[in-house]
Chain A
């Protein structure tokens, strides 16, 4: 095994980080932040396959996250479904919905695609807000604890290991996919659609495939979030959350699986750090966002990686 490849080296580093992290987490507040990082990172690793590798923007993926969360919430509370079944049902539903919209939506390019996905996400969040009988409306709804074989999952520490494991698996699957003929086909769509097509890549098929895959990942992460947080609101599906997710991917570094994880970590921690600025929180957040994007256009991880490589050679 070659430990220097980004795949093995990165996986080992991430696994080691997850393993030793609890030593440095003094209380449940810190656990909470790290768990949220993990959940965001899971979504971002999926979204990065769509945005970073395939070059197709989505400003609406929080919608799928929200559907996953509400499926777990509603099926659990109203219909007493087992948590796993509700989670799977949510993922299947999101799979079908995203497949149905993917064909027409992925025909759009550039800003039109941004508009289409944005509109889709907003419609989902409006439905979740307005169908108050089912969803509790703008105030949100409680979610049952996650239960497997009669055991309920409680407590930050347990959730920490669950989210950590799911994140590791997601990262592993993403790295595998990227380094396969399918992954190269996805990247070729980003590089030049017309060249990809004439080389035999069924471009619409791959766009739909990765849109659906990233949506399903978002849905699963949404379900995990719902059970962990125990309470969900339509904001989870909202425009702002969609933007946060895209920003994490772009800030961490497009077309970098670990970049997506780093981006999720930074943008989850940053607002917590900025709370010391009180009223200046949003101002500072906006300024940091603009500054990073101007000076590190390709995102943190790719920019730092090439800096590091230049130092070595």
Chain B
């Protein structure tokens, strides 16, 4: 009974950690530019697909993973440079359409290069489950969890302790003041896209052994990551992480106890429920309009 719950909990935390990483990517880009990047899910797809590709051409797994992340980062930078930057002062809706265009473009590119097939990626440390409290946990789940924790700590260090990280936080807080002290907003935006692409790429590599890698894998992951970002209060990175875990666990528990058919609806039911009562997310600050 409890073991069963634990089982659901572990699978929920695993997928929740991925949502958290994707949501974090949304939050970082939003903070730097007030853009919602609907191509965030495609970063996840690119991480997985590139790793599969580099392994298939004979590279050792660690090298393939590293290269995949680097390639994804470059795509993120290119996206900012060629699609977002030229339209920086466009309206919210226009920017949404541009990033949706980018996500279609990246999916299309993946289809052209790698075809429409599903690819599997070998788990990092095999498939033999580890027993924890009577629940069978895949080693890959532990990798997902471990890596997510490491990334979150590294990001906290980056944002709070390094000059560049503080610059990002500063310009999210007050863009004008940041510019006055010499922080280049273009550089910050570029950096935020690179950083989010990196997070997406890593998430993609981690989840690929569980979800498989295929051109469309990023759509739902991206949308649920968006859910996490909004649920946590847009632009609140910690909120996004917690919300990602909440969404993941709720999904797994729903699938286990209620109905696996409606698993994919859970994230959206939660978000509607929360937004209806708290229009700025769980941890969002309600702003007062200045007139």
Contact = CB atoms under 8 A, between A and B. Distances in A.
Partners in one complex: yes
B94 A293 contact: yes
B87 A112 contact: no
A289 interface: yes
B104 A107 contact: no
A77 interface: no
Per CB-CB distance, the 3 closest pairs between chain A and chain B, nearest first, are: A286-B105, A282-B108, A289-B101
Interface string A8-20: 0000000000000
Given A112-B275, A115-B271, A126-B265, A279 B100 contact: no
B199 to A, nearest CB: 19
Contacts of A254: 93
A289 B272 contact: no
B1 interface: no
Interface residues of B, number: 47
A293 B91 CA distance: 10
Given A57-B93, A112-B275, A115-B226, A286 B268 contact: no
Contacts of B30: 111
A156 interface: no
Interface string A42-68: 000000000100000100000000000
A229 interface: no
A34 interface: no
Contact of B264 (A126, A251, A297): A126
Interface residues of A, number: 44
Interface string A281-310: 111111111100110010000000000000
B90 A293 contact: yes
Contacts of B98: 289-290, 293-294
Interface of A: 51, 57, 104-105, 107-112, 114-116, 118-120, 122-123, 126-127, 130, 194, 239, 243, 246-247, 250-251, 254, 279-290, 293-294, 297
Contacts of A109: 279
Contacts of B268: 118-120, 122-123
A250 B265 CA distance: 28
A279 to B, nearest CB: 5
Given A119-B271, A294-B87, A280 B93 contact: no
Given A283-B112, A294-B87, A115 B230 contact: yes
Contacts of A110: 92
B86 A114 contact: no
Contact of B269 (A123, A194, A280, A290): A123
B272 A246 contact: no
Interface in B99-145: 100-109, 111-112
Name the prevailing secondary structure of the B interface residues. Answer: helix
Nearest to A119: B268
A118 B107 CA distance: 20
Contact of B271 (A116, A246, A251, A286): A116
Interface in B204-249: 219, 223, 226-227, 230, 234
B261 interface: yes
Nearest to B107: A282
A282 B86 contact: no
B77 to A, nearest CB: 16
A69 to B, nearest CB: 20
A282 B104 contact: yes
Contacts of B291: 194
Contacts of A108: 275, 279
Contacts of A281: 108
A114 B275 contact: no
A252 B111 CA distance: 28
B230 A286 contact: no
B111 A279 contact: yes
A264 to B, nearest CB: 15
A198 B267 CA distance: 37
A151 to B, nearest CB: 40
B105 A112 contact: no
Contacts of A280: 108, 112
Contacts of A127: 265
B2 interface: no
A116 B104 contact: no
A173 B108 CA distance: 39
Interface in B47-99: 83, 86-87, 90-94, 96-98
